[in-house]
Structures are given as structure tokens and as C-alpha cells.
Chain A
Amino acid sequence: MLINRKFLLTGIALLIILVTACGQSEQSTSIAKPPTQQEVGEVREVNRQTLQPKIVTVTEETRQTYKWYCSQCHGVKGKGDGINAKFLTVPPRNHTKAAYLETRTNEQLFEAIKFGGLSVGRAPCMPAWGHTLAEDTIHSLVRYIRELCHCEAF
């Protein structure tokens, strides 16, 4: 029963995502809402090893990494206002907003960065950085996002 519900919900989430390509479409300017956490079932198997909570700190390098790669979409200050933002159907997440980020675990944030938005039931406009950034760097980016939102996962 639970399994069935999961399947159904994953299906719904997929449907929502399927109609959402990343480049702004000219026929509809309305912004598709990303599915909420409850709508999303388990989307992929993950190597639990990589998700072990790690003690990492935010260094100057972390900030530079964020600036160099992430600010293209998320903006220099993480407000979701990078130069690509207005061309995307799903807006880049505002990393300073605690209300949403509190609902996401560090593992989910880690996965979103490493495997891309699709892997956590989010939009494909968020690319995968797993071939670009080392895991420790990704862990430190998660910490940095926690700094930006002044929040922790519930």
C-alpha cells in the first residue's frame, strides 16, 4: 500500500517535471511550481557511503567555488538572481530562504548538487556537478548554503 502510494506520487512528480523544460517557453510565462517534498518518492538509489555526515568547514575556497559556478544561476549572494535566472522555467532556489531549506536534509542538498535537480525530484535546470567538484567540496557547499540561510534541517 505504501509502495503503491510512493509509485503514484513519483508518477505525479515526474509528470510535473516532464512538462517543465528548462529554457523559458514562449507560450507560457507562468512558472511551474516545483513539487513539494511530500509529492516526491525515492527517485534514485544512492551510495549511502557518500552521504555520511562529514565535518567540513566553509573556507575561502568554498565561497570562491560558489561564486565561480553557482552564481551564474543562484546569484553572488545566493538569492536566486543570477544572470540565467530569468531564462529558466523553474527559478534557481533562493539559498537565503530558511523556510524552504529547513525542509531539506543535508543529504538532499548534497545529492541535488552532485547528481543534479532531477535526482531529488527537482527541476533539471539545476545541473549535476559530480564530475566537476570533489565530494568534500560539495559537502562544504552544503555547509555554505546552511550559512546563507542561517538554518539547519529540521
Chain B
Amino acid sequence: MKLLKTLILSGLLLSAPASADVLADKNCGSCHRLKPEEIEKSFTGPDLHYSGNKFQPEWLKQYLINPEVIRPAGFVTDPGFLPKTDLPPHASSSIEDANALTKELMTLKISTPAPVNPEPLSKGLRAKIKYQFERTFGCISCHQSLNLAGKVRGGISGPSLVNAGNRLQAAWVADLLKTPETYIAKSRMPSYKMEPATLEQFTRFLMTLKKENIK
């Protein structure tokens, strides 16, 4: 009897098209946009229809198992940017589900951004871009990052960039800074017409931000 059950169960598992519908099964689409066609609809969570462009798979898997707060004020949809209160923590998944979900999410792509030089920025350039991040462009007014003492600081209307180096793909960051409209229909972030060299340095600077550097 038990054997039969196991056989049926494993048969089901095998016959189910491995992970193809895991996103639908888990109802992720009730809060997240999973297809570019759904552009008219509004959602209560951030867009995932370009997850394969945006996220690093290892981070994605860990996030699904053990979610962290990325937007300290919640995913704000209110036009006057009223923050959400009583944010419920994001649902977490089992390791198995997280693997399947990650695999599926990483297939969702809408662009093929050009790769970015993966070399870490030199110390000098890091200091230069950090200065521009905080002053010339004022990014820190809306985004959390790390200061020299390794403390989190900055505004909260944009997603936290404290862990950007583990979370985001460099090529996506560069493409977002260059042509935000590819990914976000109407961004609340100012457009910056950066010189290509500055844009690359900004991207590589963001890639140095990692939560293990928090002190």
C-alpha cells in the first residue's frame, strides 16, 4: 500500500512538467508581473518578468528561502508615495521550491544587455564614484548604501542597494541606468544622462556593495 502510494506520487512528480508551472502553482502572479504583456495591470509587488536579466541566481534562491527587506517602505504604488505600514514578511519557500522557482524565474528575460567589465573598481575610482553617488548625483537621498564605517545609510524611496553586488546583474544595472524605460514604464528616479565611462564605473561601484560589508 505504502509502496503503491510512493509509486503514484513519484509518478506524479515525474510526469508533472518539472517546474514549468511552479510560478503559477505558487500564485506568485497574484502580486508580481510575470509576463511583459501584463503591462496594463497594476501589481502589489515588484516586476519579475525580467528576473533572468536582473537577479543573480544564487541570491534569488536564498531570497526565496529566507527573504530580506529590500524596500524598507514597502513596494509603494500610491502616487503620493505614502509608505506602507505593517509590512508582512515575504512568504518563504522550501529549498526544493526555491530551486524550481529560481530556475523558472531565470528564464524570464526581455533584453540582452551588453556585459560589463567584471574587474572590481580600483580603490581610487571607488572613492571617486562614492563621492558622486552621495553628492554629484544624490543617489543616496533615495537609496540605502554603506558608508566608510560600514554602516547602512540613505533614503528609502528606492530599493536598498546595500546588497546590490550580490543581488543584481551588472549588465542589467548598466542597462537600467542607460535606458530605464526598457524595464520601468514610469520611473520615480531621475534620468541621468551619464557619460558611458561614468555609467560603467557607477555599475562597477554598485557591484562592490555587499551586505557582508555591513559592520
Contact = CB atoms under 8 A, between A and B. Distances in A.
Interface string A120-131: 000011111101
Interface stretch (A69-77, A97-105, A136-144, A145-153): A69-77
A87 to B, nearest CB: 5
A87 B141 CA distance: 7
Nearest to B191: A131
B190 A67 contact: no
Candidate in A26, A73, A118, A124 with the most chain B CB atoms within 10 angstroms: A124
A84 B149 contact: no
B154 interface: yes
Candidate in A68, A87, A132 with the most chain B CB atoms within 10 angstroms: A87
Contacts of A82: 81, 157
A108 interface: no
A11 interface: no
Contacts of B118: none
Interface of A: 21-26, 64, 67-69, 71-73, 76, 82-84, 87-88, 116-118, 124-129, 131-132
Interface of B: 73, 79-83, 134-138, 140-142, 144-145, 147, 149, 151, 153-157, 186, 188, 190-193
29 contacts: A21-B134, A22-B135, A23-B134, A23-B140, A23-B154, A23-B155, A26-B151, A26-B153, A67-B79, A67-B80, A68-B79, A72-B81, A76-B80, A82-B157, A83-B81, A83-B83, A83-B155, A83-B156, A84-B141, A84-B156, A87-B153, A118-B136, A124-B136, A127-B138, A127-B190, A129-B190, A131-B190, A131-B191, A131-B192
